[in-house]
Amino acid sequence: MTLTACGSGETENAGESVTLTVSAAASLTDALEEAAALFSEEHPDIKVDFNFGGSGALQQQISQGAPADIFFSASKNDFDALIESGSIAKEQSVNLLQNELVLVTPADNQAVTSFDNIQEASQIAVGTPESVPAGKYSMETFESFGITADVEPLLVYAEDVRAVLTYVERDEVDAGLVYRTDALTSDSVEIADTAPKGAHDPIVYPVGIIKKSDNAEAAEIFYDFLQTEDTLAVFEEYGFTVE
């Protein structure tokens, strides 16, 4: 089976269609699914399957040999770990997007109005810091405000940032910390505050091709597609900032 990029940007398929596995941060779900729909119109011979989750957990899966062709992370540290281990070549990777961390509350629950009174919450949802970058950024933000000891007893940990959003949407917690892009997908939450610049490490989204990909040529086509003007416009529509 051979896939060759044509001058028109289309692909020629000499055999059966190819299925790519893209391990991607949960916060990219909506934007990537829309981008994949556009991609399938141009490349019907390449199917894209997504494995969404916390970037730390995805990095561990890839390190342990789980099949993946592309990794799109919300954590530069987790991504760099795969470069250092040789799973991703630096020259086949790029820092593509940026995001912001925001404090969200249920639309009908105003117990918390900003980081200044977040301690008044009965419970606060955050991603598990060890495996969810948004959780790590959340803890860094609490530390910058000097309120870690106050909020730790209130924290409810979630497996990824979308699970945090769900807790808030269902009014199961008074507040949660998610990316701005996640908050913008929901009519059931309000953005109460934004983590100030410098309160946490920059939220950078790198993407790269896995060296052991069984579909290296198709992976490169999708990798290049993610960097096109039309695709970047999709990410911007969902609130991401292009690097």
When pLDDT is averaged across residues 125-153 and rounded to a whole number, the result is 97
What does the block give as tokens for 83? 């470069």
pLDDT at 109: 85
- The alpha carbon torsion through 152, 181, 99, 124 (nearest 10 deg) reads 0
In a domain, 199, yes or no: no
Could you give the CA distance from residue 93 to residue 114 in angstroms, rounded to a whole number?
37
Residues 209 and 181 in one domain: no
When pLDDT is averaged across residues 206-218 and rounded to a whole number, the result is 96
pLDDT at 15: 53
Dihedrals φ, ψ of 193, to 5°?
-165, 160
Does pLDDT of 1 surpass 80?
no
Which range marks the domain in which residue 106 is found?
101-194
Could you give the CA distance from residue 12 to residue 197 in angstroms, rounded to a whole number?
46
Q: For 72-123, what is each residue's pLDDT tens digit? A: 999 999 999 999 999 999 999 999 999 999 999 999 888 999 999 999 999 9
Q: Which residues of 114-150 are buried (b: 16+ CB within 10 A; e: fewer)?
A: ebeebeebeebbbbbbebbbbbbbbbbbbeebeeeee
Does pLDDT of 3 surpass 50?
no
Type of residue at 227: Q
Residues 55 and 88 in one domain: yes
Question: What mean pLDDT is reported for the chain?
Answer: 93
Residues 132 and 172 in one domain: yes
pTM of the model: 0.84
Q: For 178-192, what is each residue's pLDDT tens digit? A: 999 999 999 999 999
In a domain, 222, yes or no: yes
In a domain, 78, yes or no: yes
Residues 50 and 120 in one domain: no
What does the block give as tokens for 236? 């911007």
Does pLDDT of 8 surpass 70?
no
Confidence grade of residue 150 (pLDDT, cut at 50, 70, 90): very high
First to last CA, the chain: 35
pLDDT at 103: 98
When pLDDT is averaged across residues 217-232 and rounded to a whole number, the result is 97
pLDDT at 7: 35
Burial class of 46 by CB neighbour count within 10 A (0 to 12, 13 to 18, 19+): buried
Which residue carries 């918390």 as its tokens?
112
In a domain, 218, yes or no: yes
pLDDT at 97: 98
Type of residue at 61: Q
Query: What CATH number is associated with residue 64?
Result: 3.40.190.10
Residues 42 and 91 in one domain: yes
Does pLDDT of 12 surpass 80?
no
What pairing do the DSSP bridges indicate for beta strands 204-210 and 88-98?
antiparallel
Residues 117 and 159 in one domain: yes
Q: Where are the beta strands (DSSP E) in 143-195?
A: 155-158, 175-179, 189-194
Bridge partners, 47 (sequence order): 19
Task: List the strands of the sheet with 70-72, edge to edge.
Answer: 46-53, 18-25, 70-72, 204-210, 88-98, 241-242
Instruction: Return the closest-CA partner of residue 132 out of 74, 69, 214.
Output: 74
In a domain, 59, yes or no: yes
